[in-house]
Homo-oligomer: A and B are copies of this chain.
Amino acid sequence: MAVIAFIGLGQMGAPMGSNLLRDGHQLKVFDINPTAVQQLVEKGATAAVTPAQAAVDAEFVITMLPNGDLVRSVLLGEQGVCDGLSPQALVIDMSTIHPLQTDALIHDMKQRGFSMMDVPVGRTSDHAIAGTLLLLAGGTSEQVERATPILMAMGSELVNAGGPGMGIRVKLINNYMSIALNALSAEAAVLCEALGLSFDVALKVMSGTPAGKGHFTTSWPNKVLKGDLSPAFMIDLAHKDLGIALDVANQLHVPMPLGAASREVYNQARAAGRGREDWSAILEQVRTCAGLSH
Protein backbone atom coordinates (compact mmCIF):
# COMPACT_ATOMS: atom_id res chain seq x y z
CA MET A 1 0.00 0.00 0.00
CA ALA A 2 1.23 3.47 -0.84
CA VAL A 3 1.49 6.83 0.86
CA ILE A 4 -0.47 9.27 -1.27
CA ALA A 5 -0.91 13.03 -1.04
CA PHE A 6 -4.32 14.01 -2.44
CA ILE A 7 -4.96 17.66 -3.19
CA GLY A 8 -8.39 18.84 -4.28
CA LEU A 9 -11.40 17.28 -2.58
CA GLY A 10 -14.27 18.55 -4.71
CA GLN A 11 -17.19 16.69 -6.26
CA MET A 12 -14.79 14.33 -8.02
CA GLY A 13 -11.77 14.42 -5.75
CA ALA A 14 -13.60 13.53 -2.53
CA PRO A 15 -14.97 10.17 -3.70
CA MET A 16 -11.71 9.39 -5.52
CA GLY A 17 -9.86 9.91 -2.25
CA SER A 18 -12.39 7.72 -0.41
CA ASN A 19 -11.79 4.92 -2.86
CA LEU A 20 -8.04 5.14 -2.32
CA LEU A 21 -8.62 4.87 1.42
CA ARG A 22 -10.95 1.92 0.90
CA ASP A 23 -8.19 0.18 -1.01
CA GLY A 24 -5.94 0.54 2.01
CA HIS A 25 -3.73 3.39 0.92
CA GLN A 26 -2.44 5.96 3.39
CA LEU A 27 -3.80 9.37 2.44
CA LYS A 28 -2.61 12.88 3.27
CA VAL A 29 -5.16 15.38 2.05
CA PHE A 30 -5.25 19.09 1.40
CA ASP A 31 -8.11 21.36 0.35
CA ILE A 32 -9.07 24.95 1.08
CA ASN A 33 -12.48 23.70 2.18
CA PRO A 34 -12.12 22.40 5.76
CA THR A 35 -15.40 20.46 5.60
CA ALA A 36 -14.14 18.44 2.66
CA VAL A 37 -10.91 17.74 4.50
CA GLN A 38 -12.77 16.72 7.64
CA GLN A 39 -14.91 14.20 5.76
CA LEU A 40 -11.83 12.42 4.44
CA VAL A 41 -10.14 12.56 7.83
CA GLU A 42 -13.14 10.76 9.28
CA LYS A 43 -12.50 8.00 6.77
CA GLY A 44 -8.89 7.68 7.84
CA ALA A 45 -6.96 10.36 5.97
CA THR A 46 -4.48 12.74 7.57
CA ALA A 47 -5.00 16.47 7.09
CA ALA A 48 -2.14 18.62 5.81
CA VAL A 49 -2.08 22.38 6.23
CA THR A 50 -0.18 23.06 3.03
CA PRO A 51 0.40 21.17 -0.20
CA ALA A 52 4.07 21.03 0.78
CA GLN A 53 3.25 19.28 4.01
CA ALA A 54 0.97 16.82 2.23
CA ALA A 55 3.82 15.97 -0.14
CA VAL A 56 6.35 15.07 2.54
CA ASP A 57 7.02 11.32 2.43
CA ALA A 58 4.40 10.76 -0.27
CA GLU A 59 5.12 8.20 -2.99
CA PHE A 60 2.37 9.66 -5.11
CA VAL A 61 0.85 13.13 -5.24
CA ILE A 62 -2.55 13.39 -6.89
CA THR A 63 -4.04 16.77 -7.87
CA MET A 64 -7.70 17.14 -8.81
CA LEU A 65 -8.31 20.89 -9.23
CA PRO A 66 -10.62 23.17 -11.24
CA ASN A 67 -8.04 24.79 -13.49
CA GLY A 68 -4.44 24.88 -14.54
CA ASP A 69 -3.50 28.05 -12.68
CA LEU A 70 -4.47 26.30 -9.45
CA VAL A 71 -2.50 23.19 -10.36
CA ARG A 72 0.54 25.34 -11.03
CA SER A 73 0.11 27.24 -7.81
CA VAL A 74 -0.37 24.05 -5.76
CA LEU A 75 2.70 22.42 -7.28
CA LEU A 76 5.10 25.30 -7.76
CA GLY A 77 3.76 28.14 -5.62
CA GLU A 78 4.63 29.11 -2.07
CA GLN A 79 4.26 26.16 0.30
CA GLY A 80 3.59 24.13 -2.80
CA VAL A 81 4.07 20.44 -3.40
CA CYS A 82 7.63 20.96 -4.63
CA ASP A 83 8.64 22.35 -1.27
CA GLY A 84 8.00 18.96 0.33
CA LEU A 85 8.32 16.51 -2.51
CA SER A 86 10.81 13.67 -2.75
CA PRO A 87 12.50 13.20 -6.15
CA GLN A 88 11.34 9.58 -6.04
CA ALA A 89 7.66 10.51 -5.90
CA LEU A 90 5.31 10.57 -8.87
CA VAL A 91 2.94 13.52 -9.32
CA ILE A 92 -0.32 12.63 -11.05
CA ASP A 93 -2.48 15.52 -12.22
CA MET A 94 -6.02 14.27 -12.72
CA SER A 95 -7.58 17.71 -13.33
CA THR A 96 -9.01 18.79 -16.68
CA ILE A 97 -6.83 21.70 -17.69
CA HIS A 98 -5.33 23.29 -20.77
CA PRO A 99 -2.96 20.76 -22.44
CA LEU A 100 -0.33 23.37 -23.13
CA GLN A 101 -0.37 24.17 -19.42
CA THR A 102 0.08 20.47 -18.72
CA ASP A 103 3.10 20.41 -21.03
CA ALA A 104 4.59 23.41 -19.29
CA LEU A 105 4.01 21.93 -15.85
CA ILE A 106 5.58 18.59 -16.76
CA HIS A 107 8.52 20.50 -18.21
CA ASP A 108 8.93 22.77 -15.20
CA MET A 109 8.63 19.89 -12.75
CA LYS A 110 11.23 17.92 -14.70
CA GLN A 111 13.61 20.85 -14.53
CA ARG A 112 13.34 20.72 -10.76
CA GLY A 113 13.98 16.98 -10.80
CA PHE A 114 10.40 15.80 -10.33
CA SER A 115 8.36 13.25 -12.26
CA MET A 116 4.83 14.19 -13.31
CA MET A 117 2.13 12.62 -15.45
CA ASP A 118 -1.43 13.57 -16.51
CA VAL A 119 -4.37 11.25 -15.88
CA PRO A 120 -7.64 13.12 -16.38
CA VAL A 121 -10.77 11.06 -15.97
CA GLY A 122 -13.87 10.38 -17.99
CA ARG A 123 -17.47 9.74 -16.93
CA THR A 124 -19.36 11.39 -14.05
CA SER A 125 -19.32 11.92 -10.28
CA ASP A 126 -21.48 8.80 -9.92
CA HIS A 127 -18.65 6.83 -11.46
CA ALA A 128 -16.17 8.56 -9.17
CA ILE A 129 -18.19 7.27 -6.21
CA ALA A 130 -18.45 3.77 -7.65
CA GLY A 131 -14.76 3.71 -8.53
CA THR A 132 -15.56 3.11 -12.17
CA LEU A 133 -14.02 6.17 -13.78
CA LEU A 134 -12.34 6.06 -17.15
CA LEU A 135 -8.66 6.82 -16.63
CA LEU A 136 -6.85 8.57 -19.47
CA ALA A 137 -3.22 8.03 -18.66
CA GLY A 138 -0.58 10.31 -20.15
CA GLY A 139 2.93 9.35 -19.17
CA THR A 140 5.98 7.29 -20.00
CA SER A 141 5.53 3.53 -19.93
CA GLU A 142 7.28 3.46 -16.57
CA GLN A 143 5.02 6.15 -15.15
CA VAL A 144 1.88 4.44 -16.40
CA GLU A 145 3.01 1.08 -15.06
CA ARG A 146 3.91 2.51 -11.70
CA ALA A 147 0.66 4.47 -11.36
CA THR A 148 -1.72 1.78 -12.57
CA PRO A 149 -2.37 0.02 -9.24
CA ILE A 150 -3.14 3.34 -7.58
CA LEU A 151 -5.29 4.57 -10.45
CA MET A 152 -7.31 1.37 -10.62
CA ALA A 153 -8.59 2.07 -7.11
CA MET A 154 -10.49 4.96 -8.66
CA GLY A 155 -11.48 3.66 -12.06
CA SER A 156 -12.49 0.57 -13.94
CA GLU A 157 -10.82 1.21 -17.29
CA LEU A 158 -7.44 2.69 -18.08
CA VAL A 159 -6.42 3.92 -21.52
CA ASN A 160 -2.72 4.44 -22.12
CA ALA A 161 -2.90 7.62 -24.18
CA GLY A 162 0.63 7.29 -25.52
CA GLY A 163 2.96 9.55 -23.60
CA PRO A 164 3.24 12.56 -21.30
CA GLY A 165 0.54 15.13 -21.97
CA MET A 166 -1.49 12.70 -24.05
CA GLY A 167 -3.99 11.94 -21.31
CA ILE A 168 -5.18 15.52 -21.17
CA ARG A 169 -5.11 15.71 -24.96
CA VAL A 170 -7.44 12.78 -25.46
CA LYS A 171 -9.73 14.14 -22.77
CA LEU A 172 -9.85 17.45 -24.60
CA ILE A 173 -10.62 15.89 -27.98
CA ASN A 174 -13.31 13.66 -26.52
CA ASN A 175 -14.97 16.52 -24.67
CA TYR A 176 -14.73 18.87 -27.62
CA MET A 177 -16.41 16.34 -29.86
CA SER A 178 -19.14 15.38 -27.44
CA ILE A 179 -19.95 18.91 -26.27
CA ALA A 180 -20.16 20.41 -29.75
CA LEU A 181 -22.02 17.34 -30.99
CA ASN A 182 -24.60 17.92 -28.28
CA ALA A 183 -25.41 21.32 -29.78
CA LEU A 184 -25.54 19.91 -33.30
CA SER A 185 -27.82 17.09 -32.16
CA ALA A 186 -30.15 19.65 -30.63
CA GLU A 187 -30.40 21.47 -33.96
CA ALA A 188 -31.34 18.25 -35.73
CA ALA A 189 -33.86 17.26 -33.07
CA VAL A 190 -35.51 20.67 -33.03
CA LEU A 191 -35.73 20.77 -36.81
CA CYS A 192 -37.31 17.33 -36.58
CA GLU A 193 -39.91 18.67 -34.17
CA ALA A 194 -40.55 21.78 -36.26
CA LEU A 195 -41.11 19.56 -39.30
CA GLY A 196 -43.69 17.49 -37.42
CA LEU A 197 -41.60 14.35 -37.87
CA SER A 198 -41.61 11.67 -35.19
CA PHE A 199 -38.28 11.71 -33.35
CA ASP A 200 -38.50 7.93 -33.05
CA VAL A 201 -38.62 7.57 -36.82
CA ALA A 202 -35.66 9.93 -37.16
CA LEU A 203 -33.72 7.95 -34.55
CA LYS A 204 -34.51 4.68 -36.27
CA VAL A 205 -33.17 5.95 -39.58
CA MET A 206 -30.15 7.70 -38.08
CA SER A 207 -29.19 4.65 -36.04
CA GLY A 208 -28.13 2.98 -39.28
CA THR A 209 -26.23 5.90 -40.84
CA PRO A 210 -23.29 8.19 -40.03
CA ALA A 211 -25.85 10.61 -38.56
CA GLY A 212 -26.18 8.26 -35.61
CA LYS A 213 -23.01 6.18 -35.82
CA GLY A 214 -20.56 8.97 -36.55
CA HIS A 215 -18.08 9.13 -39.39
CA PHE A 216 -14.94 7.84 -37.74
CA THR A 217 -15.94 4.21 -38.19
CA THR A 218 -18.33 4.44 -41.15
CA SER A 219 -17.71 6.85 -44.00
CA TRP A 220 -14.03 7.64 -43.34
CA PRO A 221 -12.08 4.37 -42.95
CA ASN A 222 -12.39 3.17 -46.54
CA LYS A 223 -12.27 6.62 -48.03
CA VAL A 224 -10.29 9.61 -46.78
CA LEU A 225 -8.37 7.61 -44.18
CA LYS A 226 -7.11 5.42 -47.04
CA GLY A 227 -6.48 8.37 -49.31
CA ASP A 228 -9.40 7.45 -51.57
CA LEU A 229 -11.44 10.57 -52.35
CA SER A 230 -13.52 9.07 -55.17
CA PRO A 231 -17.09 9.94 -54.33
CA ALA A 232 -19.50 7.61 -52.58
CA PHE A 233 -21.38 10.83 -51.78
CA MET A 234 -20.12 14.01 -53.41
CA ILE A 235 -19.32 17.20 -51.54
CA ASP A 236 -21.44 19.09 -54.10
CA LEU A 237 -24.47 17.01 -53.16
CA ALA A 238 -23.81 17.23 -49.45
CA HIS A 239 -23.58 21.00 -49.85
CA LYS A 240 -26.88 21.02 -51.72
CA ASP A 241 -28.65 18.97 -49.04
CA LEU A 242 -27.28 21.20 -46.33
CA GLY A 243 -28.63 24.20 -48.22
CA ILE A 244 -32.10 22.63 -48.33
CA ALA A 245 -32.00 21.86 -44.61
CA LEU A 246 -30.95 25.41 -43.75
CA ASP A 247 -33.56 26.85 -46.05
CA VAL A 248 -36.28 24.77 -44.41
CA ALA A 249 -34.97 25.62 -40.95
CA ASN A 250 -35.02 29.32 -41.77
CA GLN A 251 -38.55 29.06 -43.08
CA LEU A 252 -39.58 27.31 -39.86
CA HIS A 253 -37.58 29.66 -37.61
CA VAL A 254 -35.22 27.01 -36.28
CA PRO A 255 -31.83 28.62 -35.64
CA MET A 256 -29.01 26.39 -36.87
CA PRO A 257 -25.72 28.13 -36.16
CA LEU A 258 -23.65 24.95 -36.43
CA GLY A 259 -25.37 23.91 -39.61
CA ALA A 260 -24.85 27.37 -41.06
CA ALA A 261 -21.16 27.23 -40.15
CA SER A 262 -20.85 23.78 -41.68
CA ARG A 263 -22.32 24.90 -45.00
CA GLU A 264 -19.55 27.47 -45.29
CA VAL A 265 -16.99 24.70 -44.73
CA TYR A 266 -18.45 22.74 -47.64
CA ASN A 267 -18.67 25.98 -49.61
CA GLN A 268 -14.98 26.55 -49.06
CA ALA A 269 -14.23 22.94 -50.01
CA ARG A 270 -16.00 23.54 -53.30
CA ALA A 271 -14.05 26.76 -53.86
CA ALA A 272 -10.92 24.68 -53.32
CA GLY A 273 -11.97 22.38 -56.17
CA ARG A 274 -13.23 19.51 -54.03
CA GLY A 275 -16.87 19.59 -55.15
CA ARG A 276 -16.70 16.22 -56.87
CA GLU A 277 -14.67 14.51 -54.17
CA ASP A 278 -16.15 12.24 -51.54
CA TRP A 279 -17.67 14.04 -48.56
CA SER A 280 -15.03 12.49 -46.32
CA ALA A 281 -12.57 14.81 -48.13
CA ILE A 282 -13.83 17.48 -45.74
CA LEU A 283 -11.18 16.06 -43.44
CA GLU A 284 -8.49 16.94 -45.99
CA GLN A 285 -10.07 20.34 -46.47
CA VAL A 286 -9.92 21.14 -42.77
CA ARG A 287 -6.36 19.81 -42.58
CA THR A 288 -5.39 22.17 -45.38
CA CYS A 289 -7.05 25.13 -43.67
CA ALA A 290 -5.08 24.29 -40.53
CA GLY A 291 -1.86 24.34 -42.52
CA LEU A 292 -1.29 20.62 -41.99
CA SER A 293 -1.23 19.52 -45.62
CA HIS A 294 1.86 19.47 -47.75
Interface residues of A (CB under 8 A from B): 96-100, 122, 124-126, 134, 136, 157, 159-162, 166, 169-198, 201-217, 219-220, 232-233, 238-239, 241-245, 247-268, 270-273, 279-280, 282-283, 285-287, 289-292
Would A209 and B122 be within 8 Å (CB), given that A271-B291, A280-B182 are in contact?
Answer: yes
Contact A208 B134 (CB under 8 A): yes
Q: What CA separation (Å) do A121 and B248 show in the bound complex?
A: 19
Would A243 and B247 be within 8 Å (CB), given that A209-B174, A210-B182, A217-B203 are in contact?
Answer: yes
Q: Which B residue sits closest to A212, measured CB to CB? A: B214
Chain B residues whose C-beta falls within 8 Å of the C-beta of A190 in the assembled complex: 283, 286-287, 290, 292
Contact A210 B178 (CB under 8 A): yes
Q: Which of B98, B219, B271, B279 contacts A254 (CB 8 A)?
A: B271
Contact B241 A175 (CB under 8 A): yes
Chain B residues whose C-beta falls within 8 Å of the C-beta of A211 in the assembled complex: 173-175, 177-178, 181
Chain B residues whose C-beta falls within 8 Å of the C-beta of A191 in the assembled complex: 172-173, 176
Q: Which of B136, B196, B205, B239 contacts A134 (CB 8 A)?
A: B205
Chain B residues whose C-beta falls within 8 Å of the C-beta of A162 in the assembled complex: 197-198, 201
Q: Which of B157, B245, B253, B283 contacts A189 (CB 8 A)?
A: B283
Q: What CA separation (Å) do A126 and B273 show in the bound complex?
A: 24
Contact B290 A183 (CB under 8 A): no
Contact A99 B253 (CB under 8 A): no
Q: What CA separation (Å) do A97 and B243 show in the bound complex?
A: 11
Would A174 and B206 be within 8 Å (CB), given that A190-B287, A247-B243 are in contact?
Answer: yes
Contact A260 B264 (CB under 8 A): yes
Q: What CA separation (Å) do A261 and B181 show in the bound complex?
A: 11
Q: What CA separation (Å) do A202 and B136 show in the bound complex?
A: 10
Contact B98 A205 (CB under 8 A): no
Q: Which B residue sits closest to A265, measured CB to CB? A: B183
CB distance from A24 to the nearest CB of B (A): 29
Would A185 and B255 be within 8 Å (CB), given that A176-B242, A201-B162, A201-B170 are in contact?
Answer: no
Q: What CA separation (Å) do A74 and B232 show in the bound complex?
A: 27
Q: Which B residue sits closest to A247, measured CB to CB? A: B98
Would A170 and B219 be within 8 Å (CB), given that A238-B182, A262-B180, A286-B190 are in contact?
Answer: no
Q: Which of B177, B255, B273 contacts A267 (CB 8 A)?
A: B255
Would A257 and B250 be within 8 Å (CB), given that A177-B188, A197-B162, A286-B183 are in contact?
Answer: no
Q: What CA separation (Å) do A263 and B251 show in the bound complex?
A: 12
Q: Which B residue sits closest to A283, measured CB to CB? A: B186
Can you report 8 residue pairs joining A to B where beta carbons are below 8 Å apart?
A: A125-B232, A162-B197, A166-B196, A176-B188, A180-B242, A182-B238, A257-B265, A273-B291
Q: What CA separation (Å) do A250 and B213 show in the bound complex?
A: 28
CB distance from A70 to the nearest CB of B (A): 13
